[in-house]
Amino acid sequence: MSAREIADHADMIVAGYAFTVKEDYIEVTDLNDLKKRAVIQNGDLVESVMEDMDDELVMLYYNRNREILEETVYA
């Protein structure tokens, strides 16, 4: 999948990270490096192939925008 396709299907994009809500988790993809992905489940980062700094940023962006993401998905 290309960065554009991922972005088109994302529920939220913050600072180049695409957050896509799946059935019971959120998949996060770095649109600048598609190999960098993470999974957030129940508010916790449970899987990642990103660097520690990216993980911290992803969780910061997720926690800051959690309510907006939930409103978008469940609206």
pLDDT in tens, 8-57: 999 999 999 999 998 889 999 999 999 999 999 989 999 999 999 999 99
pTM of the model: 0.90
Greater model confidence, 38 or 1: 38
Greater model confidence, 10 or 71: 10
What pLDDT is attached to residue 23? 84
Widest CA span in the chain: 33
Other C-beta atoms closer than 10 Å to the C-beta of 29 total 25
Quick one: CA dihedral 72, 54, 27, 45, positive or negative?
Answer: negative
What pLDDT is attached to residue 75? 55
DSSP per residue over the chain, as a string? --HHHHHHH-SEEETTEEEEE-SSSEEEEETT-TT-EEEEETTEEEEE-S-HHHHHHHHHHHHHHHHHHHHHHH-
